[in-house]
Homo-oligomer: A and B are copies of this chain.
Amino acid sequence: MKVRIDGTTKEVRTIWREGQTIRLIDQRKLPHRFEITTLEDHVETAGAIMDMVMRGAGAIGVAGGYGMAQAALEAIDRDLPEFERYLLEAAERLRSTRPTAANLFHAIERCLDASSTGTVAERVEAVLSEADAIAEDDLEASRQMGVLGNELIDDEVRILTHCNAGALAFIDYGTALSPIRLAHRQGKKIHVFVDETRPRCQGARLTAWELEQEGIPYSLIVDNAAGFFMRRGEVDMVIVGADRIAANGDVANKIGTYEKAVLAHENEIPFYVAAPRMTFDLTCKDGESIEIEERSPQEIVGMWGVDDTRNPSRILIASEGTAVRNPAFDVTPAKYVTAFITERGILSPPFSESIKLTFGEADIS
């Protein structure tokens, strides 16, 4: 992604590996400060995942793989049983940081599998290349969603997006923002409406920042205003990301996605969901079986930001004891989705068929 640093524009990834060292953008400080953080060993990496220095399905998966690579390098001088024990302990530590992150588990499993045969040196080499392959896969999937999704974007269109399905949630490009980036780089005149996405405001904090850096015209709006602009004919299409997609095409994503899908449907605006193969869960029949996590009332009653001097600061909006319900995700029924943008193609209804055809069970392992 493009980032403006001291007056010049540079290409930066969300997270990358330099030998045993991992470097990444500290997303907790955005949009107020742009800082690259360094993680020297897998324990620091586990801490960074837990503290949400980076977040987003793809980025967490890559961080997990890189953490395993660090662990392998840390244990390179041990004998084989010690090496194996060290790697298993590292895997356990990394897994426990975000117990619902499917990408994280998947990445750790891939690295453990890669380390299962050969000498210690060979196993270390295998883990390093597997970790790098996970990052490359993520990058390539995002890039490909950009190429395919871009074909859906005409010149002079206004696109609405929700939450952050951008480069910061992956290694680069993102899912929903990948086609938007490419359309802009090709000179298409686009404008992006960015829902602020309460309660954690990933739209206001991250998506608006990414678009600003990239020079893509955008307007930050409150979530309440998405319907207003749709009804006024100021939105031509919606593109969002997804956390989990069931076999029938039901989409679990950030709270509010369902609202925007219904409003798009009512106003006859195409509603696209951009997501890589990893997000499709064919073992999940439909949205009804997806459990929705409810999070702390503190996310709604209070709010983090920076004060006048740009130091982190928290305020209370409502009273501390306010009764709150805070579901983190919602499920958008497949009937509201126009098509899925994936790295393997654009999937159209009926989704039960197109998803199975593209990501058939044998392929998911």
List residues of chain B with CB within 8 A of the CB of A305. 302-303, 315-317
CB-CB under 8 A from A256, the residues of chain B are 222-225, 227
Q: Which residues of B contact A157 (CB under 8 A)?
A: none
With A219-B323, A313-B313, A315-B305 known as contacts, the answer to whether A224 contacts B208 (CB < 8 A) is: no
Contacts of A204 in B (CB 8 A): 300-301, 317-318, 322
- Which among B222, B265, B292, B316 is the interface contact of A199 at CB below 8 angstroms? B222
Which residues of chain A (301-342) have a CB below 8 Å from chain B? 301-308, 313-319, 321-327, 330-331
- Interchain CB contact under 8 A, B224 and A197: yes
**A201 on the interface (CB 8 Å rule)?**
yes
Asked whether A227 and B258 contact (CB < 8 A) given A313-B313, A323-B219, A324-B221, the answer is: yes
CB distance from A49 to the nearest CB of B (A): 24
Size band of the interface chain A makes with B: 35 or more
Considering the chains assembled together, what is the distance between the CA atoms of A208 and B300 in angstroms? 12
The answer, among B197, B219, B319, for a CB contact under 8 Å with A209, is B319
Residues of B within 8 A of A327 (CB): 225, 228
Supposing A318-B204, A325-B229 touch, asked if A262 and B266 sit within 8 A by C-beta, the answer is: yes
- Smallest Cβ-Cβ distance to A310: which chain B residue: B316
Q: Is the CB of B220 within 8 A of A330?
A: no
Task: Indicate with 1 or 0, residue by residue over A208-250, a CB within 8 angstroms of chain B CB atoms.
Answer: 1100100001111111111111010000000000000000000
* A196: nearest chain-B partner, CB-CB: B300
- In angstroms, Cα B198 to Cα A358, docked, is 41
List chain A positions with a Cβ less than 8 A from chain B.
31-32, 193, 196-199, 201, 204-205, 208-209, 212, 217-229, 231, 254-256, 258-259, 262-263, 265-266, 292, 300-308, 313-319, 321-327, 330-331
Q: A198-B224, A222-B255 are in contact. List 11 more A-B contacts (CB 8 A).
A: A198-B223, A205-B317, A212-B321, A218-B323, A223-B224, A224-B255, A224-B256, A227-B262, A262-B263, A266-B266, A306-B315
